[in-house]
Amino acid sequence: MTNLLATSRRWLIGGFAATLALMAGIQLNAQAIAGHNSNAPVNYAADRIELQDRQNRVVLSGNVVIDQAGLQLTAARTLVNYTDAGSLRIQRIMATGGVNVRRGNETASGNNAVYDFNRRIITLSGNVRLRRGSDTLNGGRLVIDLVSGVSSVDGSASGSSGVAGETTTGDGGRVSGSFSVPEN
């Protein structure tokens, strides 16, 4: 019985260590998006662009593509809030409808996204999927801090993302994923 307990502990500790190592791998993978220069110029294209000067915003709709220093955001519709104190300065981009954020070989997707330029945080919510190569991470909400380089995935979309009313991933609000194990 003592031998069985010792073996079980070793297996549990080994499994926990392997899980931590795999999570560290996806954390390192999230660095591609998190290493982004959020001070670079922003380029955009869409089927329709509406400037709402009095509200200090621009509505882009239909096949929206926004590029900034190798980071590309695509969506069905975006709302760009800005300030105009002598020069235009983007404050926030809110995107809806099949949102994809891509940089290099890393892609994050979700139903909605908020790119907060002041806080330098990108938040995706609703059926979130983070992919790099064959590694995947699924959840309800992904927060990418462009300053610290830390990305986190929650099982549900509730929280301080600024995007309310999102549904979870359909698996009880848990984070799930798949990691490739390199052969030695």
Is 52 part of any domain?
yes
Predicted confidence at residue 150, as pLDDT, reads 86
124's enclosing H/E stretch is strand 121-132
Is 183 part of any domain?
no
Q: Evaluate whether 60 touches 67 at the Cβ level (below 8 Å).
A: no
Q: Show the tokens assigned to 44.
A: 């955009």
Is 10 part of any domain?
yes
Number of domains in the chain: 1
Query: Domain span at residue 105?
Result: 2-178
What Rg value do the Cα atoms of the chain yield, rounded? 19
Phi, psi of 135 (to 5 degrees): -80, 140
Is 83 part of any domain?
yes
pTM above 0.75, yes or no: no
Is 140 part of any domain?
yes
- pLDDT under 70 in the chain at which residues? 1-36, 157-172
Is 107 part of any domain?
yes
Is 184 part of any domain?
no
Predicted confidence at residue 85, as pLDDT, reads 84
Predicted confidence at residue 84, as pLDDT, reads 86
Q: Show the tokens assigned to 177.
A: 């994923």
Cα distance between residue 67 and residue 33, in whole Å: 13
Is 146 part of any domain?
yes
CATH number at residue 68: 2.60.450.10
For 13, the 3-state DSSP assignment is helix
Cα distance between residue 114 and residue 103, in whole Å: 16
Each residue's pLDDT tens digit, 138-157 = 999 999 888 888 888 888 76
Return all residues near 167 (Cβ < 8 A) that are at least 6 apart. 126, 127, 140, 157
